[in-house]
Amino acid sequence: MERFFDPQSVVVVGASNTPFNLGSTICNMLKDYLHYDGNVYAVNSKGETVNGYPGYSSIPDLPQTPDLAVIIVAARHVPGIIRDCARKGIRHVVIESAGFSEGGEIGEAMQREIDAIARQNGIRMLGPNCLGTLSSRNKFCCFYGVNPSLVEMNQIFESPGSISYIIQSGGVVVLTLESLYYDLVGVNKVVSIGNKCDVDEADLIEYFQKDETEVIGIYLENIADGRKLMEAARKSRKPVLVYKVGKTKEGAQAAMSHTAGMANNDRIFDAACRQAGIIRLQSIDELHSLPKIFTEMPLLKGKRIAAFTNSGAFGGISADLLVQAGLQMVRLSPQTQEKLKKVGQVFNIKNPVDIGPAPPQTYLDIFEILLSAEEVDGLLPLLSVWQPFVIDCLLELMKICKRYEKPAAIYTPNAISKSVAIRARHRLPIFETTEQAVRALSVSQTYFASLLKRNLTGDRPLWGAGLNTDHRSTGEALS
C-alpha cells in the first residue's frame, strides 16, 4: 500500500501538452511545486515531453518499471492501459478517469474487464473516478486539476499533521483540506477512493494503523463490503470518524449517480457503527472540526461535565445541549462549591459556574478547582475573549487538562472570524459553536467507551494523542 503514497517512480498516463490537459497538471505539481525527486514519465499519443518529464507513446516503451501508474485518459482506453501495465510489471495503479460503473452498461463492462486483468496480474488499483493520493510527509500528491499555489496546499506540506482522510469524492477532499487550513490539526495522508473497484476504506483503515495517523476521517457514498469495513474499524486503535451519504432513500439515489454505489440500509449501518466503535459524523464540517478533541486533549472518561462561563447566557444554553447529547451537568460537591466561593467574584458556584469581570487568577483558580474535583470528568469552558489575558488563561488550561488527564472543549462566544483567528494564532483547540464543543465532548466519551468495550485500552495511554508530531511545533498557521 505504501507505494500509493510514497512511490519512487511514477508514470502519468494521459499527460500531454494539449491545452486543458488534466494529466499535465499532475506533472506540474510534482515538478514545480513538490520538487518530487523520483523519476516521472509521461505517456501520450505523440510521446511528447511534458514539463521536462520524458514522454513515451506507450507504457512498454518506458525505460524502467515505475512504482506507480496514474491513469487519466478517456475511460475506453483504460482496459488497454491496464493490460500494458501488467505487461510492464507495474503493480500499483491509480485510475482517475471517470465513466465506469457510474456510466451505464458499457462502463460496467469495462470495469469487469479491468478487474479481471488486475486480478490475474496482482495489480492493486485505486479508483476509478477519483483524485488519487496525497502524503504530506513524503511530499507526494497525484491529484489532478488542483492549484498547488493555494496557501492551503502550502500549509499541508509545510506542516504535516496527524489526520488521514479516506474520501469517496473529489469535492469533499477539496472542501475538507481548505477548511482544515483554518483549523488546528494538520493532514498526514489523503486518499480519494472514488468507485473503489479494488482498494477500499477497510484496506486503508488497516494501513493507517501503522503510520503517523492519529485520527482517521472517512466520507462514504456507499459501502460495498460492510463486514470488512466493520472488522477493520473494530480493530482500529485510532478513532475512525465516518460521514455517510444516503441516510434517506433520496440521498442514496443521488449518491449513486455520483459514484455508483449500492443503496445501503442506514439503520443497519448505524447499529454496526456503534458495535465497531465507528464515530458517525453528523455533518461534512465535522470531518475537519472534530479531530482536534482527540489530538489536543485527553479522552473524556465519564459523562459528568462542569460548564464555566464568563457570559451568563451560555450556562443555560450549554446545560440544554449537554443533556440532549447524553452527558450530565455534574452536581458539584459541597467541598468544590466551598472552594469556588473562596475564589470570589463567582456569581454562581453551582454548575454552570458563572463569573463577571475578573482577573486572570480567578480563571486559573476555577480551572484548577473544577478539573481537580473528583466528581468532574471534563470541562466545557465558554469564555468570551473580552480581554487578551483570557487567551493566556486558555493556554494554561491546556496544561491543567494534561495534568489531570481530563479534556476541555473550549468555545469562545465571539464572532466566528475572531475565534478562528485566535485558534490559529495561539494553536488553541477552539470549537466554532457551543453545539460543536458539546458534540466533541460527547464523541470523546463515546470513543472512550468503545475502547473499553473493544478491550483496546491496555497498551496505549488513555490520551488521544502522542502530542509530539511535527505539525504542532510549527507555531502560527495564520499570520
**Nearer CB in complex with a copy of itself: 334/415:** 415
Query: Can residue 171 be called a binding residue for a copy of itself (CB under 8 A)?
Result: yes
Three cell numbers written together for 404: 489531570
Q: Is 426 exposed, middle or buried (0-12, 13-18, 19+ CB in 10 A)?
A: middle
Q: Cα–Cα distance between 95 and 13 in angstroms, integer?
A: 10
Does the protein bind a copy of itself through residue 380 (CB under 8 A)? no
Q: What is the nearest approach in angstroms of a copy of itself to the Cβ of residue 462? A: 27
Gap between the Cα atoms of 373 and 433, Å rounded: 26
> Contact between 355 and a copy of itself (CB under 8 A)?
no
Give whole-number Cα distances, 296 to 189, 258, 429, 445, in Å.
19, 35, 7, 15
Residue 186 binds a copy of itself, judged by CB under 8 A: no
**Distant-in-sequence, close-in-space partners of 51: CB < 8 Å, separation ≥ 6:** 24, 27, 28, 31, 32
State the CB neighbour count (10 A cutoff) for residue 299.
24
Specify the stretch interacting with a copy of itself by CB under 8 A; choose among 239-247, 294-302, 373-381, 442-450: 239-247
354-390 burial by CB neighbour count: b if 16+ within 10 A, else e?
A: bbeeeeeebbbbbbbbbbebeebbbbbbbbebeeeeb
69/321 with CB nearer a copy of itself: 321
Start-to-end CA span in the chain (Å): 37
In the complex, the smallest distance separating the C-beta of residue 113 from a copy of itself, rounded to whole angstroms, is 23
In this chain, which of 268, 271, 395, 416 binds a copy of itself, going by CB under 8 A?
Answer: 416
Report strand pairing: 68-71 vs 92-95: parallel
Residue 418 near a copy of itself by CB under 8 A: yes
Residue 35 burial class via C-beta count within 10 angstroms: exposed 0-12, middle 13-18, buried 19 and up: exposed
Q: What is the dihedral of CA 166, 227, 446, 175, to 10 degrees?
A: 20
Q: Which CA distances in Å does 93 have to 50, 67, 294?
A: 20, 9, 33
Quote the least distance from Cβ 170 to a copy of itself, whole Å: 8
**Angle made by CA atoms 234, 236, 242, in degrees to the nearest 5:** 80
Nearer to a copy of itself, 354 or 365 (CB): 354
Is 18 near a copy of itself (CB under 8 A)?
Answer: no
Q: Is 74 in the site for a copy of itself (CB under 8 A)?
A: no
Of the ranges 223-231, 359-367, 396-404, 427-435, which one interacts with a copy of itself (CB under 8 A)? Answer: 427-435
Q: Which part of the chain contacts a copy of itself (CB under 8 A), choosing from 37-45, 107-115, 135-143, 322-330?
A: 322-330
311 touching a copy of itself, by CB under 8 A: yes
Stretch binding a copy of itself (CB under 8 A), from 51-59, 76-84, 170-178, 362-370: 170-178
Sketch the per residue contact string, 215 through 234, with a copy of itself: x for CB under 8 A, - otherwise.
----x-x-------------
Among 174, 223, 343, 410, binds a copy of itself (CB under 8 A): 174
Q: Which of 1, 126, 297, 317 binds a copy of itself (CB under 8 A)?
A: 317
Compute the distance between CA of residue 370 and CA of residue 340 in angstroms, rounded to an integer: 9
Alpha-carbon distance 405 to 402, whole Å? 5
* Span near a copy of itself by CB under 8 A; candidates 79-87, 223-231, 291-299, 431-439: 431-439
Q: Interface with a copy of itself by CB under 8 A: which residues?
A: 152, 168-172, 174-175, 178-179, 181-182, 219, 221, 245-255, 257-259, 283-285, 307, 311-324, 329, 347-348, 350-352, 354, 384, 413-418, 420, 433-435
